[in-house]
Every structure is written in C-alpha cells, then in structure tokens.
Amino acid sequence: MKLLVTGGAGYIGSVVAAQLVEAGHQVTVLDDLSTGHADAVPAGARFVEGSVTEAADVLPGMDGVLHFAAKSLVGESVEKPGRYWAHNLGGTLALLDAMRSAEVGRIVFSSTAATYGEPERSPILETDPTRPANPYGASKLAVDTALSTFAGLYGLAAVSLRYFNVGGAYTGEDGRVYRERHTVETHLIPNVLAVALGGRDSVSVFGTDYPTSDGTCVRDYIHVADLARAHLLALDACSAGEHKIYNLGNGTGFSVQEVLSVCREVTGHEIPAVMCERRAGDPAVLVASAEKIQRELGWKPEHPSVRDIVADAWAALPR
Ligand code: UDP
C-alpha cells in the first residue's frame, strides 16, 4: 500500500514507518520536526517536512494514513490547553478534511490511555467511561469522537489504538536502532536510565502514598516493537464506515519501584531515587485489558516483560 505516516520522525511513528517499509509498503513520512528527528525517518521512506495541515499536498494517491503527529506532554497541556486543542484536534480535523478531498478512506490513529482518566476498575476495557483528566487526554478523546462521526457520516475506515506506557527500542532489519530521544523527557524509564548513564544524579519518584502494594503508581508497560506491529494489523482491520477502538498494553501492572528495581538489575547501577510528592493528574493504577485486540486482530506481544523493554532501551542508548 501507499501510506502516509504523520509524525513519522518521532519515537513511535518512526518505528511504525520502519516496520511498514520492511513489510513492503511505500511510505511517506510527513513531520514538521518540532519534536521529531529527520534522521529517525527510515531509509526506505520518503520524507516531507511539514505540518499535518499541509497533508493535502501529499495525500493524492495514498491508500491510508497512520496518524502520530501530535503534542504529547501532559504537563504542558495543562499550562497551554489551546495548543493541544489546536494541534491535536484542529490538526487532525484538517487532515480528515484533506483525506476526504483526496478520497483517502483509511486511518490508524495514535490514541491514549489518558482518554480514560481515573479508571473505576482494572484492567480497563474499551467500553469503560472516558473522563480524561487533562487537555492532552481530552484532545485525543475528541479525535476519537471525530473519527466515529466521520466513519458514520462519510464511510471512513478508522482504528484508534489506545497506548498504555510505551518503552524500549526497535532494531530494524537493516540493523538500524530506533529509540526514544525526547528533548523534554517526562517518561519514567528514560529518566531512570539517564541516571544510570550518569546524565542525572537521581530520579524522582512521584508519590509513595498511592493505594498500591508499595505506594507507587502502577502502569502497564508495552514494548515499542510490539506496539508498532499492532498498527500493521490495525491497517488491515480497517473497515469502511467503522471506527474500532483497541487498548494496547500487556495487561500487567508494574509499580514505579518495581520498574526502578528492574532498571538497577539490567544496568548494574545503583540509581539513587528521591521520594517526591505526587505528580498532578496521575491515576494510581492504569492497566489495559488487551483482550479485544488479541481476540479480534490476533495481536500477541513478543516482548511482554518489563525486563526486555528496559534492556532494549538501555542497549540503544549512545555511550
Ligand atoms: N514517574 C516517576 N518519575 C519520573 C517519571 C515518571 O515517578 O521521573 C512516574 C509517574 O508518576 C507515573 C509513572 O512513573 O506514575 C509513569 O509515568 P510516565 O510519565 O512514564 O507515563 P504516564 O503513565 O504518565 O503516561
């Protein structure tokens, strides 16, 4: 297929673009490089530097879109909500209009567990209430809603994948390594590994009084290679007039302290941790039920262990 990958110079988008190229698709990456890196675009893909609002120029002749381009910092979304509505919802609406004009009827969208907010139960099912706790989650949920509307009204074939906590690195068939390298890093595993590498003195543990086994937050970690593979399955599962939503996690929770222990084991470094106040808006436990995607798309994780995720992230860091 001829496919457009928006945000394909970012962490997850670049891994999906690489897997699509490896599967024999013709891939064009559209990315404004606001947070992505031009050298993350896989060698076999065409690269167009530009924003999603310029997608009309590259859409004609495409069979589908994988849409990653977005602002994704929760804290920033609370400070500057307008930016999140404009980029994430406004940008996607412009993309959807351009897709209609160019008669491109298939989209796989990068949604998030943040659409659920504070869950009522664990693991979370796709049918559970969506009550996002911040503008980032709200803007992604608004896109999910728009996709449902466009599927019903215009026959769009859409799949939303709701990511839980993505980590690890991907080594392409050509040996190239794709890894997380955000300028502003908020995520747990890269922050912990930065300490092991010597770039920082200690890692902050946000909250030790949650109602969990050790008092720290519990999350469902998924390997970026497994996550990316689900996008190829989703592309094939797109069906005209339908908007399908799938959680994408492993269905197992690990606490911040447990992740820290795994990182200490894998790296052999002490990794000092400082216990801090809770971070605003963090639910105590976020664990996916991944039963639907396993049942309907036949997705199965190849790297379900946090150890693999941490080990691959660690091995990919430049020394
Ligand atoms: N966390 C932490 N220290 C950090 C970064 C994150 O204690 O430096 C915690 C955070 O509060 C959350 C978990 O680790 O409970 C995962 O956070 P991350 O930002 O990686 O992902 P999120 O769950 O927010 O999408």
Tokens of 53: 């609002």
> Is 274 in contact with 253 (CB distance < 8 Å)?
no
Tokens of 285: 């436990």
Per-residue confidence band for 182, with pLDDT thresholds at 50, 70 and 90: confident
Per-residue confidence band for 191, with pLDDT thresholds at 50, 70 and 90: very high
pLDDT in tens, 138-165: 999 999 999 999 999 999 999 999 999 9
Mean pLDDT of 62-66: 98
> Going by C-beta distance under 8 Å and a sequence separation of 6 or more, which residues neighbour residue 41?
8, 9, 14, 17, 29, 31, 47
> Going by C-beta distance under 8 Å and a sequence separation of 6 or more, which residues neighbour residue 305?
none
pLDDT in tens, 214-234: 999 999 999 999 999 999 999
Residue type, 273: A
**318 C-alpha to center of ligand 1: Å?**
23
Tokens of 279: 């971070």
pLDDT surpasses 90 at 111: yes
For ligand 1, atom 12, name the residue with the nearest CA.
217
pLDDT value at residue 86: 98
> Is 192 in contact with 198 (CB distance < 8 Å)?
no
pLDDT surpasses 90 at 125: yes
pLDDT surpasses 90 at 319: no
CA atoms within 13 A on the CB side of 86: 5
CA distances from 165 to 114, 223, 294 (A): 10, 9, 18
pLDDT surpasses 90 at 107: yes
Per-residue confidence band for 183, with pLDDT thresholds at 50, 70 and 90: confident
Residue where the block lists tokens 């300490």: 195
Nearest CA to 107 among 35, 160, 184, 47? Answer: 160
CA distances from 61 to 31, 65, 99, 104, 240 (A): 19, 11, 10, 8, 18
301 phi and psi angles, rounded to 5 deg:
-70, 140
Task: Tell me the angle at which helices 188-197 and 306-316 cross, rounded to the nearest 10 degrees.
Answer: 50
pLDDT value at residue 102: 98
289: left (phi over 0), alpha (psi -120 to 50) or beta: beta
pLDDT surpasses 90 at 276: yes
Q: What count of other Cβ atoms lies within 10 Å of the Cβ of residue 304?
A: 18
Residues within 6 Å of ligand 1 by CB: 165, 186-188, 191, 203-206, 217, 219, 256, 279, 282
pLDDT surpasses 90 at 246: yes
Strands 177-178 and 170-171: antiparallel
pLDDT value at residue 267: 98
Choice among 136, 178, 221, 246 that is catalytic: 136
> Is 246 in contact with 126 (CB distance < 8 Å)?
yes
Residue where the block lists tokens 């996550």: 227
Task: Check if 84 is active-site.
Answer: no
pLDDT value at residue 108: 99
pLDDT value at residue 199: 83
**172 C-alpha to center of ligand 1: Å?**
27
For ligand 1, atom 11, name the residue with the nearest CA.
206
ω into residue 123 within 30 of 0, thus cis? yes
pLDDT value at residue 280: 87
